[in-house]
Amino acid sequence: MQTIYSFTDSSGYLRTKKIIDQIGICHIIKYSLDSEVTRYSVEISGIEIFHCGSLENCYTHANGIYASNPVSQRVEAFRHMQKTA
């Protein structure tokens, strides 16, 4: 998991935003407050495009984008090449 940000807010709570998975051009994001998951979302280039009711919904949405977007498929293929090289 890649942490995008982590900070302590004015109330003393630790807030974090982490990329938990990548599918093509989509990032599946987990938001936490003091290590308790508060929500999930799907982002493209740092822009939230879908607020998920569950982690499963995030994967469903991201896979739908991947299946219908040739750019997303090329990104995933390139990412796979980098892992195997």
Q: Report helix, strand or coil for 47.
A: strand
Element spanning 75, H or E: helix 70-84
* Six token digits for residue 4: 């995008």
pTM for the predicted model, two decimal places: 0.81
Higher pLDDT, 50 or 85: 50
6-30 pLDDT tens trace? 999 999 999 999 999 999 999 999 9
Residue 52 near residue 58, CB atoms below 8 Å: yes
At residue 47, φ and ψ (nearest 5 deg) are -105, 125
